[in-house]
Amino acid sequence: MPSTHGPCAGGQALSRRRLLAALGTGATVSLAGCSATNRRTTVTGSWQTRGYDPARTGAPEDVSGPEPPLDRRWKADFVGDWNQTSPIVVGDTVYLGSMTGGMSGREAETYLNAFDASTGEVRWTRSIEQHTPKYNSSYADFLTASDDGLFIQTFRGLRALDFDGTERWTFENTGPRFLADICHPAVVDGVVYTGTYGSTRARGDDDEYRGSEGLFALDAADGSLLWKYKPDEYATDLTFSPTVADGTVYLCFLGRALVALDTADGEVQWTRAVPADTPATVRNGTAYVATQVFHERDDTYEYRLYALDAETGETVWDRPVGGAWSSRGISHDGSALYLSSDHHLVSLDAETGEPRWRAFSDASDWSEIGWFDDNHAPIAGWGVPVVIDDVVYAGDGEYGTLVALESDTGEPLDAAPHRRWGASGTEGSPAVADGVAFYTTPHFLHAVDTNAFEFW
């Protein structure tokens, strides 16, 4: 896959952002044959799940992102509004799940949408399921792909689909009550690892809460059950997306624990009783999870980030990460961590937990961009930030822009599209392919690439 840091026409490797900086901050010109975004070419790539890979790292090494300055390449609408997944990319197609309805006693309908990655043209929209929920239910972020097909969670189960939307099989993995959150399956070596969708708590005949099955391992070809794991004591409202790395599947239970299981048979390797508030991210032999604790004495929440030895579950370090709900996802680029907390985007050293920088904290920090005023600074959205080369891409949680920052310093570089009144924030995570970033706001799917005037 081409890289925006590859050799230009003259054979010299040069960052587009540094080239434009050398020409002047207002420059939007690019060199023939050296453009990161030739809009005549076909955009292709592979971004199969929120957080990029089954280890949930959010930082691929073989994907090229758009170099600032940024511009919106296209905008497309889809069926539904606030209820949509993060986009995924397979080949030259962007896929997006969405839902209409969902209020108690009213029909909810789940859709799968396919878009041309280059132009935003809608290729098709498929109705996947109709369901009338007993309780108010909104859509969760749970669309995933493998090399062989798509997987989308619905109210009646996990469904495997061909790339044209044709259903292959359905596996019932739903709890007694649906809660909207992230619940992506992880697909590795022909096996689908998926948690229970919705609440895993149910009252027994003796009026005591019991946990239901927490994790299922399925054959990706036919949906048959290979093994399942049922926690004995971690009854909870939510099972997060499983994470898979190096023969281990890591499963977080909201507010309760992180459990490490052998991918082959589900045997428990270790358990840590931590109040998990995100799925785990695993890289370089360490599992990272953000936690939340409520202190009744002063009616406050405490948020911390834990680094645990991936083989033993022992604490490597833990650090406070702010005072508000985190993004439910952590990115790791090999040396640093990135997540949102308290409306900020924060970065920590992955080895020590030492803070590196904190962005989105002060409107004055963004005055140089020119389209945020003193009362309207961007806030970090709920999505997992994406790190490619030396740029961090994150959705703005208030104005619906995609923001690019310098990964080493948190310095703002640019955002697109420029803020407009009435815009709504994004809660999904970006997907990136071939120098283009895709992200959602209510009602729209956006594609952002480098803002360049091309001489051809």
pLDDT single digits (tens) 148-162: 999 998 888 899 999
* Location of structure tokens 């896929």: 95
Task: Count CA atoms closer than 13 A to 409's CA, side-chain side.
Answer: 5
> Is 28 a domain residue?
no
Tell me, what's the pLDDT at 40? 61
Helices (H), 44-95: none
* Location of structure tokens 């090229």: 64
Tell me, what's the pLDDT at 21? 43
Tell me, what's the pLDDT at 35? 40
Position with higher pLDDT, 344 vs 1: 344
Report the C-alpha gap between 162 and 169 in whole angstroms.
10
DSSP E strand stretches across 313-435: 315-320, 331-332, 336-341, 344-349, 355-359, 386-388, 391-395, 402-406, 412-416, 431-433
How many angstroms separate the Cα of 111 from the Cα of each of 70, 152, 202, 386?
30, 10, 29, 26
Tell me, what's the pLDDT at 18? 46
List the one residue out of 177, 181, 184, 124 whose CA is nearest residue 155: 177
Note whether 383 and 400 are within 8 A (CB).
no
> Is 21 a domain residue?
no
pLDDT in tens, 355-371: 999 887 554 444 445 44
Tell me, what's the pLDDT at 204? 56
Note whether 143 and 96 are within 8 A (CB).
yes
Tell me, what's the pLDDT at 30? 40
* Location of structure tokens 């980030």: 305
Structure token pair of residue 167: 């259903």
Enclosing domain of residue 388: 36-450
Burial (CB < 10 A; 0-12, 13-18, 19+), residue 302, is middle
E strand or H helix at 369: none
Tell me, what's the pLDDT at 240? 87
Winning range, highest mean pLDDT, from 67-71, 211-215, 299-303? 67-71
Tell me, what's the pLDDT at 361? 57
Asked if the model's pLDDT at residue 1 lies above 90, the reply is no
Asked if the model's pLDDT at residue 394 lies above 80, the reply is yes
pLDDT band at residue 188 using 50, 70 and 90 as cut-offs:
very high
Question: Could you tell me which residues are beta bridge partners of residue 152?
Answer: 143, 159
List the one residue out of 377, 412, 395, 270 whose CA is nearest residue 328: 395
> Is 11 a domain residue?
no
pLDDT band at residue 22 using 50, 70 and 90 as cut-offs:
very low
> Is 163 a domain residue?
yes
List the one residue out of 73, 64, 69, 70 whose CA is nearest residue 4: 64
Position with higher pLDDT, 455 vs 270: 270
pLDDT in tens, 94-149: 999 998 876 666 788 889 999 999 999 999 999 998 888 766 566 678 899 999 99
Q: Which amino acid is at 169?
A: W
How many domains does one find in the chain?
Answer: 1
* Location of structure tokens 């207002």: 26
DSSP E strand stretches across 67-121: 70-77, 88-91, 93-100, 108-116
Give the single-character DSSP code of 102.
-
Q: Are strands 331-332 and 157-161 parallel, antiparallel or unpaired?
A: unpaired
Residue 308, domain CATH = 2.130.10.10
pLDDT band at residue 268 using 50, 70 and 90 as cut-offs:
very high
> Is 225 a domain residue?
yes
> How many helices and strands in the chain, by DSSP H and E?
1, 35
Report the C-alpha gap between 302 and 322 in whole angstroms.
8
Asked if the model's pLDDT at residue 176 lies above 80, the reply is no
Tell me, what's the pLDDT at 454? 47
Q: Write the CB contacts of 65 (distance below 8 Å, at least 6 apart in sequence).
A: 4, 386, 388, 389, 391, 393, 432, 435, 437
> Is 2 a domain residue?
no
Asked if the model's pLDDT at residue 295 lies above 90, the reply is no
> Is 8 a domain residue?
no
Report the C-alpha gap between 287 and 439 in whole angstroms.
27
Q: Which amino acid is at 212?
A: S
- Side by side, the strands of the sheet bearing 444-450 are 70-77, 444-450, 436-441, 431-433
> Is 7 a domain residue?
no
pLDDT band at residue 327 using 50, 70 and 90 as cut-offs:
low
- Mean pLDDT of all residues in 375-401: 79
pLDDT band at residue 11 using 50, 70 and 90 as cut-offs:
very low
- Mean pLDDT of all residues in 212-239: 85
